[in-house]
Structure 1
Amino acid sequence: MDTILIFFSLAAATSAYLLWFWLLARKLNGPKVWPLVGSLPHVFMNRRRFHDWIATNLHATGNAATYQTCTIAIPFLARKQGFYTVTCHPKNIEHILRTRFDNYPKGPTWQTAFHDLLGQGIFNSDGETWLIQRKTAALEFTTRTLRQAMARWVNRTIRTRLWIILDKAAKDHTSVDLQDLLLRLTFDNICGLTFGKDPETLSIDLPKTLSRTHSILQPATLQRLLYPGFLWRLKKILHVGAERRLRKSLQVVENYMTEALDARKETPSDDLLSRFMKKRDIDGNLFPNTVLKRNRPQFRSCGTRHVIGRAQLVLLAEKIIREISAVLQETRGKDTQKWIEEPLTFDEADRLIYLKAALAETLRLYPSVPEDFKYVVSDDVLPDGTALPSGSTVTYSIYSVGRMKSIWGEDCLEFKPERWLSAGGDRFEPPKDGYKFVAFNGGPRTCLGKDLAYLQMKSVVSAVLLRYRLSLVPGHRVEQKMSLTLFMKNGLKVYLKPRQLVAPPKAAVSA
């Protein structure tokens, strides 16, 4: 009798669950979901092409550009922790980032996953904690002093290190990994600007250094977002896999930050860290060490992710060179040797309209941060009519925005810098709908370093292309590495040949 009762109880429970699951699944329009595990099998199978997988799912919705899925198909959890809305609809993105900004914070899932790396720094905090840090940082990023300091650090690193490494490679007919070199260059620049101390990771012997830790930190942290929290917490307790590598890398960062902070307490300077140490929080207290440590690498990351070498720029080299040459002929004269004696000043870089368009087009198709996640505080409805339950997660796919014909037109997959230029080609014109392009985020969290990032990119690209012709190493595969920010998995390996510069006719048009 007991056996029969147990059998019927299990059968009733199973039937009730399957009915509940059917009712849940019929409302979802994303990848297929399975009992208990939801869409997690698809996430796992596509973990090495996650961004393209999301773009494929969004394409399948047609012009809707929004779908919903569930990663934990269990009652009471499915409509909260396991429920994901994924969108690349510009009106939805504006709603999330600006219109109802307060309803979409980073939230507990993001903050827990990133706490080891970002603590309560500006990129991982919400509410008043975020606001006071934002205001403090904004004051520094709008000063001309910061622009001038960045120019000094960028030009110094180009002149005393990057050119030396590239000259040697060109002379010896050896290849270089341009992505690795530019990551190191940016790391040194931002650390110098931030701490007043140059870590010299970009050197002729290219040592394995602190700059390499991000190749471990970002993929490992991304895994915390893709899978249920208990999985990465278990791996953390057992000290295995990605969590083991993450802990080791975090210790390297912690040691570096502690040394830098201690040095600045003893000898204050004019760097960003020294300035931030003088600021106070909303209660009038100085920022604690934990916040100071976590903010510095985040400003460093903000600079790094916008200057990585991209293969597309190699293809546009001739147009870019013509524009740079036209500017330098006006500022330095017709002697081409004087063009390459010193890197471009930021004022010269400001005039490179076509290069800025090429960089913007690169970021449209390959945004530095391909996906972003937000927590839904209260029930809401997006402009396209999609209902979002409180406690769930909404993901806006910046990577997919640039690949939607309904947003950018039939030629959305073509690399066309001209789409960013005025009809006469003499002005940079971003899209009227600013939320078609959120590579630098949007709303109150718009990237503070956006203008500096463009200037740094223009200076570095010019420094490389003015001196050298680049060609990919035969057989080298350029493919994505799954990480919080887009990287090339195998780097960007190129050969370099000295470029012969010719002064353009006086009437040459830069673009």
Structure 2
Amino acid sequence: MVPSLSRTLTGPKAWPFVGSLPVLFKNRSRVHDWIAGNLRATGTSTTYQTCTIPIPFLARKEGFYTVTCNPKNLEHILRTRFDNYPKGPKWQTAFDDLLGQGIFNSDGETWLMQRKTAALEFTTRTLRLAMARWVNRSIKNRFWCILDKAAKDNVSVDMQDLLLRLTFDNICGLTFGKDPETLSPGLPENPFSVAFDTATEATMHRFLYPGVVWRFQKLLCIGAEKRLKQSLQVVDTYMNDAIADRKKNPSDDLLSRFMKKSDTCGNAFTSKLLQRIVLNFVLAGRDTSSVALTWFFWLLINHPHVEDKIVAEIATVLKETRGGERRKWVEEPLDFEEADRLVYLKAALAETLRLYPSVPQDFKQAVNDDVLPDGTVVPAGSTVTYSIYSAGRMETIWGEDCVEFKPERWLSVRLDRFEPPKDGFKFVAFNGGPRTCLGKDLAYLQMKSVAAAVLLRYRLSLVPGHRVEQKMSLTLFMKNGLRVFLHPRKIEDGHLSIE
């Protein structure tokens, strides 16, 4: 261990030669809770530093990690000193084969150009209407059919799997106008979907393990790197077909819109770049919403009083928009105008994301030496990890009831208006600063529509013995899915009941 460095570290004990890797490996199955525990142990600072490569000349850069969930630090990293904290070469190299120079894997001018183009498109009413069409079509024609059959046959379903399929179909339709129909009776395997999942998982392995491991596997084309190469061939073929189809038949999807744009030199985007641009949106649009909804339904199973309030709110809105005849409430999914009015449901979804953010942590690399607002010194070239998961579990940030599922904390005093915290960097589940998620509003609307589609028809109960635990990946999946039984719901005046 470098003596001068060891005296400055404030996190887990770092040992000679191996740094803090042993304790990280020991806690690999609960890394997010482990990080939160380390941050709580710092008291009010909610920042610690550790080293994974305690070797001179490398320790202060490649092996040095600053971990924080302090809102002032998050604002500093994500907005105030945004230019000093890019994704960095480590992240970009690991994700290059899958995401290329797409918006989530680029910095500087390349990122800015795509951001400006996407920002213009995400503010159009056309895109919102297109999203509503895809969501409602998937719910009515396929999602409800699968749920109805499972309820009738009294068999369980894996809600996480169904939601991943639903959001995947929706985002593919919105992004390049092709519905892979992974959410269909029988839950068929779709080559593109399977290849995309395989490529995503193999890519995540690159970031979770030392670079020398995956580079060696790539050189020999073995293990996860072999799977990545094979799956990317399938993805590329599918995307090339989609691009060729859109050149012949332009539509209102994102791919068609980007095909009309130019790069920073005024040239049309190449097919390769177009592939990576839209794949970035597929990755972001599928996992985040489906994972959030999965944790949302699990929380409702454990907090039935919150579920009752949500169902009552949906019933109130539908009585005003569709009249008192209950049959009409479940004939069609909620349109986005109706979903807009569901204030308590939005609060419950935000509370879910506070406790179980779809992306539990993110990483930046410091370009120059810096000092965070809490006084923490960040060396140039080192990594800064900000733990979104931990931020939702800090008494210093959210109070003594920080671990309670309490949607009311997101509402005005009169409980009639959604009110996010005045300090926006207490809650960065949708990122913050210039990289704030462009699809945030669409994500809420999709989640509200899907949640209402389930809750109006069913109450969920966990399959006895099913273990709910986190999967250790860059997205907060449930390791074993969410297996539930569906109990048909009957809505009467003044009360809710189960048939």
TM-score (norm 1): 0.93
Q: Does 1:166 align with 2:151?
A: no
CA distance in 1, matches of 2:16, 2:428: 36
**Is the CA contact 1:221–1:484 (under 8 Å) kept in the aligned structure 2?**
no
2:414 corresponds to which residue?
A: 424
Larger displacement relative to structure 2 (242-251 or 29-38): 242-251
User: Which amino acid counterpart does residue 279 of structure 1 have in structure 2?
Assistant: K
Q: Does 1:112 align with 2:112?
A: no
* Cα distance, 1:468–1:350 mapped onto 2, change above 3 Å: same
**Is the CA contact 1:313–1:358 (under 8 Å) kept in the aligned structure 2?**
no
User: Which amino acid counterpart does residue 116 of structure 2 have in structure 1?
Assistant: K
User: Which amino acid counterpart does residue 345 of structure 1 have in structure 2?
Assistant: D
CA distance in 2, matches of 1:343, 1:43: 45
Q: Does 1:312 align with 2:299?
A: yes
Deviation at 1:485, TM superposition (A): 1.0
Helix, strand or coil at the partner of 1:453: helix
Deviation at 1:288, TM superposition (A): 1.8
Which structure 2 residues correspond to residues 165-204 of structure 1 after superposition, within 5 A? 165-204=146-185
- Equivalent position to 2:222, from 235, 240, 259: 240
CA distance in 1, matches of 2:121, 2:214: 37
Which structure 2 residues correspond to residues 20-419 of structure 1 after superposition, within 5 A? 21-209=2-190, 210-213=192-195, 215-304=197-286, 305-308=288-291, 309-310=294-295, 311-314=298-301, 315=303, 316-419=306-409
Helix, strand or coil at the partner of 2:251: coil
CA distance in 1, matches of 2:232, 2:15: 36
User: Which amino acid counterpart does residue 484 of structure 2 have in structure 1?
Assistant: V
User: C-alpha offsets along residues 451-491 of structure 1, whole Å, 9 cap, x if unaligned?
Assistant: 00000000000001101111111111111111111111111
* Cα distance, 1:212–1:405 mapped onto 2, change above 3 Å: farther
**Is the CA contact 2:218–2:226 (under 8 Å) kept in the aligned structure 1?**
yes
Deviation at 1:406, TM superposition (A): 0.7
CA distance in 2, matches of 1:470, 1:226: 34
Larger displacement relative to structure 2 (37-46 or 316-325): 37-46
User: Which amino acid counterpart does residue 427 of structure 2 have in structure 1?
Assistant: F
1:8 corresponds to which residue?
A: none
Q: Percent identity?
A: 71
**Is the CA contact 1:175–1:496 (under 8 Å) kept in the aligned structure 2?**
yes
User: Which amino acid counterpart does residue 153 of structure 2 have in structure 1?
Assistant: D
User: C-alpha offsets along residues 332-352 of structure 1, whole Å, 9 cap, x if unaligned?
Assistant: 011100000000010000000
CA distance in 2, matches of 1:250, 1:43: 31
CA distance in 2, matches of 1:245, 1:479: 26
**Is the CA contact 2:66–2:385 (under 8 Å) kept in the aligned structure 1?**
yes
Deviation at 1:25, TM superposition (A): 1.1
Helix, strand or coil at the partner of 2:104: coil
* Cα distance, 1:433–1:181 mapped onto 2, change above 3 Å: same
CA distance in 2, matches of 1:48, 1:250: 28
Deviation at 1:192, TM superposition (A): 0.9
**Is the CA contact 2:39–2:68 (under 8 Å) kept in the aligned structure 1?**
yes
**Is the CA contact 1:59–1:65 (under 8 Å) kept in the aligned structure 2?**
yes
Helix, strand or coil at the partner of 1:488: coil
Deviation at 1:22, TM superposition (A): 2.3
User: Which amino acid counterpart does residue 105 of structure 2 have in structure 1?
Assistant: N
Superposed CA RMSD in Å reads 1.6
Larger displacement relative to structure 2 (44-53 or 136-145): 44-53
CA distance in 2, matches of 1:244, 1:317: 45
CA distance in 2, matches of 1:223, 1:199: 26
Helix, strand or coil at the partner of 1:394: strand
CA distance in 2, matches of 1:204, 1:312: 27
User: Which amino acid counterpart does residue 24 of structure 1 have in structure 2?
Assistant: L
Deviation at 1:43, TM superposition (A): 2.3
CA distance in 2, matches of 1:44, 1:249: 28
Helix, strand or coil at the partner of 1:274: helix
CA distance in 1, matches of 2:407, 2:199: 33
Deviation at 1:237, TM superposition (A): 2.0
Runs of 5+ unmatched residues, structure 1: 1-17, 506-511
**Is the CA contact 1:39–1:69 (under 8 Å) kept in the aligned structure 2?**
yes
CA distance in 1, matches of 2:226, 2:32: 25
Helix, strand or coil at the partner of 2:290: coil
Deviation at 1:297, TM superposition (A): 2.1
CA distance in 1, matches of 2:198, 2:30: 18
User: Which amino acid counterpart does residue 302 of structure 1 have in structure 2?
Assistant: A
**Is the CA contact 1:329–1:503 (under 8 Å) kept in the aligned structure 2?**
no
Deviation at 1:504, TM superposition (A): 4.4
User: C-alpha offsets along residues 379-421 of structure 1, whole Å, 9 cap, x if unaligned?
Assistant: 1000000011111111101011001111111111011001001
Helix, strand or coil at the partner of 1:63: coil
User: Which amino acid counterpart does residue 307 of structure 1 have in structure 2?
Assistant: S
Computing the radius of gyration over CA atoms, which structure comes out larger, 1 or 2?
Answer: 1
CA distance in 2, matches of 1:151, 1:241: 40
CA distance in 2, matches of 1:57, 1:244: 36
User: Which amino acid counterpart does residue 459 of structure 2 have in structure 1?
Assistant: R
User: Which amino acid counterpart does residue 80 of structure 1 have in structure 2?
Assistant: K
1:502 corresponds to which residue?
A: 492
Larger displacement relative to structure 2 (192-201 or 357-366): 192-201
CA distance in 1, matches of 2:468, 2:456: 23
**Is the CA contact 1:334–1:503 (under 8 Å) kept in the aligned structure 2?**
no
Larger displacement relative to structure 2 (161-170 or 310-319): 310-319
Deviation at 1:55, TM superposition (A): 1.2
Which structure 2 residues correspond to residues 484-495 of structure 1 after superposition, within 5 A? 484-495=474-485
CA distance in 1, matches of 2:64, 2:228: 27
* Cα distance, 1:50–1:247 mapped onto 2, change above 3 Å: farther
CA distance in 1, matches of 2:247, 2:35: 46
**Is the CA contact 2:162–2:183 (under 8 Å) kept in the aligned structure 1?**
yes
CA distance in 2, matches of 1:213, 1:383: 43
CA distance in 2, matches of 1:120, 1:265: 22
2:433 corresponds to which residue?
A: 443
**Is the CA contact 2:167–2:289 (under 8 Å) kept in the aligned structure 1?**
no
User: C-alpha offsets along residues 249-294 of structure 1, whole Å, 9 cap, x if unaligned?
Assistant: 3333222222211221222222110111110112111122222111
Helix, strand or coil at the partner of 1:62: coil
User: Which amino acid counterpart does residue 299 of structure 1 have in structure 2?
Assistant: F
CA distance in 1, matches of 2:477, 2:179: 24
CA distance in 2, matches of 1:457, 1:286: 35
CA distance in 2, matches of 1:239, 1:40: 27
Q: Give the aligned length.
A: 487
CA distance in 1, matches of 2:124, 2:63: 44
